[in-house]
Structure 1
């Protein structure tokens, strides 16, 4: 059996490796062709809403596309012109700040005890240029005969270029970016002109069999990508404007350059804005003899980035990108390795496209799991996985974070109860080891106690092994009894103030009952529990039936407990006729049990969740005036 399995999996694994290597090779060696095409498609997502708006105004398809492309072209040329002009002005003004730069580098060298001066490479040469001896010529040399001779400097100059040679040199340096830009805009125009046709072809390729589902998926993916790119463009533009205005008010030269560089470099995730901040801070340190302007410049970048990253971005697209922070970093490293600086800028858009594709194309599902922001495990699965590891602390931390916006009852319905059903499957199948069972049981006890507030931080409870007792529910009940007394509280309470809960069928039902008791007690309701065996035991004389307001029977397997539930409801109706009788049905959410046959005419209310039964208990007790 294992040999046949290996014979099937090994060729598929080899084919996967070969396919991955082929894709990587195509991406690397075909980058000269793929980069312009990718840029064109990214720009198409950015321009498509603008083109659609122009078409709604009555312009034709061709006119709308040409107008949109023209706007992008003018914008990019304006940005390039601003950067070139500002860099030229900065280069012309740098000699004025040479003394200030030399003084500060010397100060930093002294503070670092000569570390800066020992740097090699371009950085060391630059520092030596500012701090070294600036004599006009070489030092005289003492000859053997005692005479002094000054070496003659020899400079090598290339012959002046002829006009055509100069023109060819300029053209050779300018032609590659112009060629790339030309390809980008040509492809962009045709992509926008054939937008509908390309969408239809992709729908046919992705899943023409289910036309409705595929159309919805493609439209959702296109809208999501367009919304993200437009939002990112607007946020980066606003950040650049804020930096420009702030630096202008501070009096820093070339403020427009740093604002423009901030808007452009911010497309590089995480590090782009700080590259602009570093350069602007260095210039501020060169201009100002002191350190005030440099610190103010750095503080401005820090304040603006915190406001934008923590306030504006989350509201606009913080939860719509679908990318986890780690995937953004990894994708930046990968795409910069494949495509260089252009890949670094395009890393987030490209990875986002792959994640969106993985959301709708089954073959690419692995990409959404690896790079998406959605957790790989659901919260119940995560609960059970942590419980198997015995990591109750992490479960409690996650639960408290969840309960910042939800109640304990909602957490038990949405996370704790499904996780307990997952554990029950392994318990029934016997696929869990005794050690794992001990870890799961101990974690569940610790989590329930922590969430219900029954154990304080200064009170450490020493628990015996739950495997040697009657189950988790009974263990929790006995621990609560040890705190509140044998009858779980005093009988000197107002009439109709007690809610009595009873589990049916199994120890798992006892645990569900104990959870209900703690949920009710958290809401200041005097909830107490008992088992079916306790019905035949003698109760103290002071335990008057008038004290009980509600009896709630709990079942975690309603289909098999249906007869027992009806029988117990009838019995409780006879023994406690003056109170209300509730039935709480908690079937497994993974089995889709049909509960239409579970009809209990003697029950005053049938609930399917902790939240519903809590709400019903509160209404009933408010109606009787006991809450």
Structure 2
């Protein structure tokens, strides 16, 4: 194999841009896009069946789901008791009985507090009625005042006087004809005690049955947790135990952290609200505190729903509006502290879900399972996101519902350049430059994005005009980044260097980046277009006093002889200059750098802008030493 062919083969690996001619036997051809109709229809059919099963099977699925969620909450308690040398069965029984006792205590407290409100219900109704009449009187007086200003100056008559006053013809309306009383006969229905008991207990039997099922399933899940995990892995992930185990551990840790953190925060929220309502003077403050803590499990709107009942009760107790204002202020202050101070300190700002997905999932699960679905919407959606992060076929859940960026920084940069949107590209660059250097941004984001552009151009998806437009956008972004770049410590001597662009449409943008980075190091660099180094124009190229020549090649398609002869022409024009060739971006090397340098005739080969800057800085020190 000749040296020229070796360089071409190396560059094919580096850039992945080499393509065999179309008429070459065995040349790789671009596959035609497969029709996705059958796959799409199958996915839609499966999704429809799953949603239908969730809807029609909610009587079975809701208790099971609640039991699994409850097991995530109780599992840390069971593990704690086991660490105290207690067997698993007694630990599970004690934990479940304790949880059941807490639920019974809460239900009893809510019932007693609600019963205490019924004694003063007539008084509350009178206060509310008086306030409603006051509001109506104020509204009527304001309406009469506005009518008087806009009309003929005569105030409008009240509706009651108009109805009782004369008719349109000046006569009073005739009284309605006397109606005959309807006879009413009271008949005993002869209801049996069994029917009365059924009427009284029927509203209680449904929730009680669900509670019993949830507790039974939760006990089973806690007792057989490891066995259920092994069976799940056997059914769904025996071919990839590592990925399945990671997915299950990730889901378990996220859900346990979410539930425990939310339970702690919401419990404290309810306690603070209850104490605050007691201090304000709202009747039954414990009940409203418990309801506030429970409603806060509803994302975004739970706290606002919890305000309604205490505020209405405050309006019924207080003849004025002071209590209502105090209740609203209490909820707002406590919610702000819980949402923006306590929660970020406790478990971070995010649960792994985007804000839009939380709202959409709340609407979806509420439609599917009602109020219970609204409360469970966030953990259920979190399970889907975790599955999407570990199961390739369900990755769309992570993309649609997760909080991770949909595009990588490289893809995001390329999309903005492709859309000819330099403002968004500049905004993204300024954001990324807050935690990385300009050199890292150019090497890790821009050069990788330009590599995607080169690959698309080689496939024919970007024409020459589009490539020129993208290069112009890229140059605009580089130029705008110049004022925001902090100057690094300059090297002691200044060396004259030129940055020569390759023949590709994006090579000039790379030379602009290199010249900018050299300017940060105190190196005076001049950009040279590829046309200025052609055979016809090389003689007019000013290389007086040039110590370093850096050649930027983003791609070498076909034969790299053009690059080899360009190095030879520059060597003849500036025999004392040090020539550095950059093939961007650096890929998997199949040859040593020394072999590539020898084949190209260059003094040094580099694969990144950082290496190019270092080499030119090294030439600076060598030039200074030689001059001394």
What range is the shorter-chain TM-score in?
0.7 to 0.9
The yes-or-no answer on 1:76 pairing with 2:103 is yes
**How many Å separate the matches in 1 of 2:244 and 2:49?**
28
Equivalent in the alignment of 2:294: 264
**How many Å separate the matches in 2 of 1:244 and 1:604?**
78
Q: Secondary structure at the match of 2:593?
A: coil
- Of the two structures, which has the highest relative contact order with CA contacts closer than 8 Å and spacing of 6 or more? 2
Query: 1:144/1:99 Cα in 2 relative to 1: closer, same or farther (>3 Å)?
Result: closer
**How many Å separate the matches in 1 of 2:612 and 2:274?**
59
Match of 2:427 among 375, 378, 397: 397
Q: Secondary structure at the match of 1:342?
A: helix
Query: 1:191/1:21 Cα in 2 relative to 1: closer, same or farther (>3 Å)?
Result: same
Q: CA deviation at 1:147?
A: 12
**How many Å separate the matches in 1 of 2:423 and 2:138?**
46
Q: CA deviation at 1:206?
A: 1.9
Equivalent in the alignment of 2:585: 587
Q: CA deviation at 1:320?
A: 5.7
When the two chains are superposed, the root-mean-square deviation of aligned CA atoms in Å is: 4.5
Q: CA deviation at 1:115?
A: 12
- The TM-score with structure 2 as length reference comes to 0.74
* Structure 2: stretches of 5+ with no match in the other structure: 1-31, 144-158, 161-171
Q: CA deviation at 1:530?
A: 3.2
Q: CA deviation at 1:566?
A: 8.7
* Structure 1: stretches of 5+ with no match in the other structure: 117-131, 134-141, 456-492
Equivalent in the alignment of 1:42: 69
Query: 1:527/1:147 Cα in 2 relative to 1: closer, same or farther (>3 Å)?
Result: same
The yes-or-no answer on 1:170 pairing with 2:200 is yes
Is the CA contact 1:582–1:604 (under 8 Å) kept in the aligned structure 2? yes
The yes-or-no answer on 1:423 pairing with 2:463 is no
Equivalent in the alignment of 2:123: 96
Equivalent in the alignment of 1:128: none
**How many Å separate the matches in 1 of 2:269 and 2:198?**
40
Q: CA deviation at 1:19?
A: 2.5
**How many Å separate the matches in 2 of 1:385 and 1:180?**
51
Equivalent in the alignment of 2:329: 299
Equivalent in the alignment of 1:516: 514
Equivalent in the alignment of 2:576: 575
Equivalent in the alignment of 2:240: 210
Equivalent in the alignment of 2:482: 452
**How many Å separate the matches in 1 of 2:324 and 2:142?**
22
Match of 2:60 among 4, 9, 33: 33
Equivalent in the alignment of 1:497: 494
Q: CA deviation at 1:587?
A: 1.6
Is the CA contact 1:502–1:552 (under 8 Å) kept in the aligned structure 2? yes
**How many Å separate the matches in 2 of 1:169 and 1:237?**
35
Q: CA deviation at 1:572?
A: 11
Match of 2:352 among 319, 322, 328: 322
Q: CA deviation at 1:212?
A: 3.0
Query: 1:438/1:567 Cα in 2 relative to 1: closer, same or farther (>3 Å)?
Result: closer
Match of 2:526 among 526, 529, 538: 529
The yes-or-no answer on 1:17 pairing with 2:47 is no
The yes-or-no answer on 1:352 pairing with 2:352 is no
The yes-or-no answer on 1:229 pairing with 2:259 is yes
Matches within 5 A, 1:99-498: 99-109=126-136, 164-318=194-348, 321-433=351-463, 436-437=466-467, 440-453=470-483, 496-498=493-495
C-alpha distance after superposition, 1:306-346 (max 9, x if no partner): 23323333444446632211111111111111111111111
- The TM-score with structure 1 as length reference comes to 0.74
**How many Å separate the matches in 1 of 2:314 and 2:97?**
37
After the TM superposition, which of the residue ranges 58-67 and 559-568 deviates more from structure 2? 559-568
Is the CA contact 1:452–1:519 (under 8 Å) kept in the aligned structure 2? no
Q: CA deviation at 1:210?
A: 2.6
Query: 1:452/1:156 Cα in 2 relative to 1: closer, same or farther (>3 Å)?
Result: farther
After the TM superposition, which of the residue ranges 297-306 and 348-357 deviates more from structure 2? 297-306
**How many Å separate the matches in 2 of 1:619 and 1:246?**
70
Is the CA contact 1:587–1:593 (under 8 Å) kept in the aligned structure 2? no
C-alpha distance after superposition, 1:486-506 (max 9, x if no partner): xxxxxxx99713573524643
**How many Å separate the matches in 1 of 2:110 and 2:276?**
18
C-alpha distance after superposition, 1:396-419 (max 9, x if no partner): 333333333333333323332222
**How many Å separate the matches in 1 of 2:472 and 2:141?**
59
Q: CA deviation at 1:151?
A: 8.1
Is the CA contact 1:391–1:443 (under 8 Å) kept in the aligned structure 2? yes
Q: CA deviation at 1:38?
A: 0.6
Equivalent in the alignment of 2:169: none
Query: 1:284/1:392 Cα in 2 relative to 1: closer, same or farther (>3 Å)?
Result: farther
Q: Secondary structure at the match of 1:575?
A: coil
**How many Å separate the matches in 2 of 1:365 and 1:228?**
22
**How many Å separate the matches in 1 of 2:464 and 2:135?**
63
Query: 1:570/1:182 Cα in 2 relative to 1: closer, same or farther (>3 Å)?
Result: farther
Q: Secondary structure at the match of 2:378?
A: helix
Is the CA contact 2:478–2:512 (under 8 Å) kept in the aligned structure 1? no
What is the count of residue pairs matched by the alignment? Answer: 549
Query: 1:34/1:607 Cα in 2 relative to 1: closer, same or farther (>3 Å)?
Result: same
Query: 1:569/1:111 Cα in 2 relative to 1: closer, same or farther (>3 Å)?
Result: farther
Equivalent in the alignment of 2:150: none
C-alpha distance after superposition, 1:174-209 (max 9, x if no partner): 111010000000011111111111100111122212
Equivalent in the alignment of 1:61: 88
Query: 1:555/1:17 Cα in 2 relative to 1: closer, same or farther (>3 Å)?
Result: closer
Query: 1:434/1:115 Cα in 2 relative to 1: closer, same or farther (>3 Å)?
Result: farther
